[in-house]
Homo-oligomer: A and B are copies of this chain.
Amino acid sequence: MLLEMISTGEEVLSGQIVDTNAAWLADCMMNLGIELSRRSTVGDRMDDLVAIFTERSKSADLILVNGGLGPTSDDLSAEAAAKACGVPLVEHAQWRSHLEEWFSKRGRKMAASNLKQCWLPQGAVLIDNPAGSAPGFRVQLNRAWLFFTPGVPVEFKQMVNEQFVPFMQQQFRQGLATRLCKLLTFGHGESALADRIDTIALPAGLTLGYRPSPPHVEIKIFARGDAAIASQDVYVKALRSLLGDAVVSIRFPTMAEEVHNLLLAQNVTLALAESCTGGMLSSQLVEFPGSSAYLQHGVVSYSNAAKIALLGVDAATLEHHGAVSAETAIAMAVGARSRLDSDYALAITGIAGPDGGSAEKPVGTVAIALCDRQQSFVQVVQLSQRSRTLVRTMSCAVALDMLRRHLLGTPPLVSYPFLPARQSYREAHH
């Protein structure tokens, strides 16, 4: 079965609203093991609608059309469907009395424009909409069934779950079962990952995909068929052992969430000191409910004066080594940790750009330190110079990865293939 979706509406086409119905449908279909073969978006223009209904009905078996069933003049889906099928619109007497009853029950007067919603293409099968005034309907055209649904998300979802899915399952025999598994990685580029992974044979029925989503790369392993689902487990295990702790998570979509959960599970506390990231690291953790259990405080020490006054960094350290240095990063971490005697502290100080770089310390130079009560770990990395946001995002990710590795009991300082450290050492506290 070839399944497609057509989204209608100027504001979806023009990017003014994100097509959440489309994402929801695709996710819902994937849970049923069904892949969409195409999704198209057109505006509220009669010619475009008639053209796309006609054209796609020659290729697909089932087309879910979303939107354009409302009462206003820019809602054209029923009329366009009638034109594409070469039939007139006819009033659906049953839906008209249903609507009249619906409004009178609620003590509301039915607007004249609602009457338009009772007119469907001749021969169309009406689909009940228990949540709104626009009925759905389906028509057959060329090789396809076109299934029309309202744009209002709550009405759309109910109609898909209660009407579209049963219709599809009855009309089209389902194929094989499917399952998707994802690995979140950090520290390797997409191509470096692919080179390593290609050394393991991919079992039949599995497909492999990569999604770079800075600072992470996500690896997706899709299985089709019971045999493939069985071999998926073995393959994923082999991948994890191949990639080691470059795999950040198989449960969570971001490193911040993985670290958040590790901190909660270990019942430890954390303090933060941020310069160039300016609260981004702190904000990434506070995103998750429950972060107050471990995050005692964060200090955005943007100025040297703040590093001295709020974190107790020695003015001599700043003068001798500079604000962006391994020594200052350690002093910031140690100072932040000691304020409330937290178990751990992370500190970031760097040059996010576009200005402020020098020959010795170009834009993108960032010093990142982790400390506990016994010791500090620090590294100075050279990040991309092209985007202030990217420098800040990557700095947070490196800091979180140091803490993640430390919480897992593995060395926090590693050499990332995509990011050679300029300086990297451990220092015991006295």
A261-312, CB < 8 A from B: 272, 274, 276-283, 285-287, 289-292, 295-303, 305-306, 309-310
Q: Does A210 contact B (CB under 8 A)?
A: yes
Contact B289 A283 (CB under 8 A): no
Contact A291 B306 (CB under 8 A): no
Option from B40, B74, B113, B289 in Cβ contact (under 8 Å) with A38: B40
Option from B35, B72, B209 in Cβ contact (under 8 Å) with A74: B209
Contact B280 A194 (CB under 8 A): no
Q: How many residues of A contact B (CB 8 A)?
A: 108
Q: Does A176 contact B (CB under 8 A)?
A: no
Q: Does A39 contact B (CB under 8 A)?
A: yes
Option from B113, B194, B297, B388 in Cβ contact (under 8 Å) with A194: B113
Q: Does A25 contact B (CB under 8 A)?
A: yes
A67-115, CB < 8 A from B: 70-74, 107-108, 111-114
Q: Does A16 contact B (CB under 8 A)?
A: yes
Contact A16 B108 (CB under 8 A): no
Option from B52, B191, B356 in Cβ contact (under 8 Å) with A113: B191
Contact A70 B17 (CB under 8 A): no
Contact B42 A13 (CB under 8 A): no
A7-47, CB < 8 A from B: 10-11, 13-20, 22-27, 29-30, 35-44
Contact B152 A212 (CB under 8 A): yes
Chain B residue numbers with a CB within 8 Å of A285 are 278
Chain B residue numbers with a CB within 8 Å of A301 are 297
Given A23-B18, A192-B111, CB of A283 within 8 Å of CB of B283: yes
Given A23-B15, A299-B310, CB of A279 within 8 Å of CB of B289: no
Contact B209 A10 (CB under 8 A): yes
Contact A40 B37 (CB under 8 A): no
Cα separation A23 to B302 with both chains bound (whole Å): 34
Given A40-B38, A286-B277, CB of A208 within 8 Å of CB of B74: yes
Given A38-B48, A113-B194, A191-B111, CB of A292 within 8 Å of CB of B282: no
Cα separation A213 to B352 with both chains bound (whole Å): 27
Cα separation A289 to B210 with both chains bound (whole Å): 33
Among A280, A295, A297: residue with most chain B CB under 10 A: A297
A184-241, CB < 8 A from B: 189-192, 194-195, 198, 207-214, 220, 222
CB distance from A395 to the nearest CB of B (A): 12
Contact B37 A26 (CB under 8 A): no
Option from B15, B114, B278 in Cβ contact (under 8 Å) with A25: B15
Known: A38-B42, A276-B286. 11 other contacts (CB 8 A): A10-B209, A13-B38, A15-B22, A15-B26, A16-B209, A72-B191, A108-B418, A154-B386, A292-B302, A295-B302, A306-B340
Q: Which 10 A-B pairs have the closest CB atoms?
A: A278-B286, A279-B279, A15-B26, A298-B300, A279-B282, A15-B23, A297-B306, A111-B191, A71-B191, A279-B283
